[in-house]
């Protein structure tokens, strides 16, 4: 599940007849109630969605946020990115006319297109889960987290949406915290059951930016 060719083939086959969003777990309608509290009250907000695929979360946030948001949706599958770009060539006007939406091809383990401290919020909905299910996945998932931390602004948050139980995910995040040398705050919120599966939101906040700078 960590191979680019696998996902290029998946998105080619999934969009063979007509475009349709594909979301791990759930789409924007479900996750919006958990996302919007992190954005309310800000004058302007920058959001990075890593491993976006053809999810409707980034576009949904762009369309419905009352706060102006600059949303960057990135994926290492060029097929997924091109599908999304084509689908949103003629975007409807967002709720806030200052909001922007961008789609870019980028590898979440090496976000070289972005400078450090670029985003207020980083979203990871199923991306780390896919990596952790692959061989040598923990190493790659750790690289994703480190890159997300690098591009995070002071007092920003990383939100990992996952079906992995806290007994498994929290030790992984704590080890990544230790390896990074950062001072991270890690919290978990249970999102409830969807289609018979329990989901969680892991909230990672960077407390000390000293060793990132």
Domains of the chain (ranges plus CATH)?
A: 4-208 (3.40.50.150)
Averaged over 14-42, what is the pLDDT?
Answer: 79
| Percent of the chain's residues with pLDDT above 90 | 52
Question: Which is it for strands 45-50 and 183-194: parallel, antiparallel or unpaired?
Answer: unpaired
Mean pLDDT, to the nearest integer, of 144-165?
A: 93
* Nearest partner of 126 among 206, 35, 201, judged by Cα: 201
What per-residue confidence (pLDDT) applies to 133?
A: 83
Of 45-49, 80-84, 164-168, 199-203, the least confident:
80-84
Q: Is the pLDDT of residue 10 over 90?
A: no
**Average pLDDT score over residue span 107-114:** 94
What is the structure's pLDDT at 120? 94
88 has which bridge partners? Answer: none
Mean pLDDT, to the nearest integer, of 158-170? 94
Question: What whole-number distance in Å separates Cα of residue 30 and Cα of residue 44?
Answer: 23
The CA distance from 49 to 202, in Å, is 15
Residue 210 has pLDDT above 70, yes or no: no
Is 209 buried (19+), middle (13-18) or exposed (0-12) by CB count in 10 A?
middle
Q: Is 203's pLDDT higher than 90? A: yes
As a whole number of angstroms, the distance between CA 55 and CA 23 comes to: 5
């Amino acid at each position: 599940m960590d191979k680019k060719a696998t996902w290029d083939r998946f998105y080619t086959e999934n969009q063979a007849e007509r475009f349709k969003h594909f979301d791990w777990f759930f789409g924007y309608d479900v996750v919006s109630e958990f996302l919007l509290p992190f954005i309310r009250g800000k004058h302007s907000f920058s959001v990075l969605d890593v491993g976006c695929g053809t999810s409707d979360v980034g576009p949904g946030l762009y369309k419905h946020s009352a706060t102006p948001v600059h949303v960057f949706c990135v994926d290492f599958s060029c097929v997924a990115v091109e599908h999304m770009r084509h689908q949103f060539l003629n975007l409807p006007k967002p709720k806030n006319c200052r909001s922007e939406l961008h789609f870019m091809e980028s590898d979440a383990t090496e976000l070289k297109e972005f400078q450090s401290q670029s985003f207020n919020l980083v979203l990871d909905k199923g991306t780390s889960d896919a990596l952790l299910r692959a061989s040598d996945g923990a190493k790659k998932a750790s690289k994703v987290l480190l890159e997300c931390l690098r591009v995070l602004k002071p007092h920003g948050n990383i939100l990992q949406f996952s079906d992995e139980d806290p007994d498994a995910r929290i030790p992984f995040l704590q080890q990544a915290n230790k390896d990074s040398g950062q001072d991270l705050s890690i919290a978990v919120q249970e999102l409830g059951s969807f289609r018979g599966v329990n989901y969680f939101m892991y909230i990672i906040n960077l407390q000390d930016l000293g060793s990132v700078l």
